[in-house]
Chains A and B, each alone.
Chain A
Amino acid sequence: DAKTTQPPSMDCAEGRAANLPCNHSTISGNEYVYWYRQIHSQGPQYIIHGLKNNETNEMASLIITEDRKSSTLILPHATLRDTAVYYCIVFNDYKLSFGAGTTVTVRA
C-alpha cells in the first residue's frame, strides 16, 4: 500500500514553476523517494529520485525536508506536455506502490 499522501489535483500556468508536495511521514531510513508521472494512460515515466539530499536533473528538482517526512517535486518551467498524473512513491526494494497521485493540469 502507498505510504505517501498527495493532493488530488493542481493547476499550473504554462511557463511557471509547478511545485508538487508529498507527505511520507512514515518513511524509514533506507527508503528512497521516487517520482513518476503518467501521461494520458501511457506507461509511467521515471522523473527523479532521492534519499536525503536534494536532487536535480534535466526534468525536475526534488527537495526533501531534513526530517525526510515530506518532499516537493519542482517542474521549473511547466509546459502543456507536462499535464499528467504525478506519483510520489516511497521505495526500498523492488515493489513500487502507486497511490492516486496528483493530477497536474498545465494551462496556457
Chain B
Amino acid sequence: NAGVMQNPRHLVRRRGQEARLRCSPVKGHSHVYWYRQLPEEGLKFMVYLQKENIIDESGMPKERFSAEFPKEGPSILRIQQVVRGDSAAYFCASSTGGISNYGYTFGSGTRLTVV
C-alpha cells in the first residue's frame, strides 16, 4: 500500500536550469494535485490534473511552469529557467476523484533549492 511517492526529495538547481519534479499517485488514484509551500507559509494550490488532462491550473505561474499527468507514468511538474523565488517545497496529492472519505493523500514533497 504505497502512498504518494515524490522524487527527488531534495533538488538543487542553479538559476536558469530546469527542474523536473515527479509524483506517482496512490495506486488506483487518477486525480493528482500539486501544491507549493514557500518558506514559513501555508500550502498554495497550483494545479489539478486527471489522466492526460489539466482540469484547473489557476494556481500556476503564467510562465516557466507546466504540469502533465500522462496515461502511463508519473505526473511531472516542470519549472524552466528557475529563479531563487522558486525555492520551496512542492507537494503532490492524489485522490480517486471528488470528495472522498479520507480526503487527499499527500506525498512527502520535493524541496527545491535554487542557488
What residues of chain A have their CB less than 8 Å away from a CB belonging to chain B? Answer: 2, 32, 34, 36, 38, 41-46, 49, 87, 91-92, 94-101
Contact = CB atoms under 8 A, between A and B. Distances in A.
A11 B31 CA distance: 37
B33 A94 contact: yes
A46 B44 CA distance: 17
A63 B109 CA distance: 31
A87 B109 CA distance: 17
Interface of B: 4, 31, 33, 35, 37, 42-45, 48, 55-56, 89, 91, 93, 95, 98-99, 102-109
A41 B102 contact: no
Given A32-B99, A94-B48, A94-B56, A87 B42 contact: yes
22 contacts: A32-B99, A36-B103, A38-B43, A42-B108, A43-B4, A43-B91, A43-B107, A43-B108, A44-B93, A44-B106, A46-B104, A46-B105, A94-B48, A94-B98, A95-B45, A96-B33, A96-B43, A96-B45, A96-B104, A97-B45, A98-B43, A101-B42
A36 B91 CA distance: 14
B106 A45 contact: yes
A36 B106 CA distance: 10
Contacts of B109: 41-43
Q: Tell me the dominant secondary structure on chain B's binding face.
A: strand
A46 B103 contact: yes
A59 B107 CA distance: 20
Contacts of B56: 94-95
Contacts of B42: 2, 87, 98-101
A83 B63 CA distance: 37
Contacts of A94: 31, 33, 48, 55-56, 95, 98
Contacts of B37: 41
Contacts of A99: 42
Nearest to B41: A100
A43 B106 contact: yes
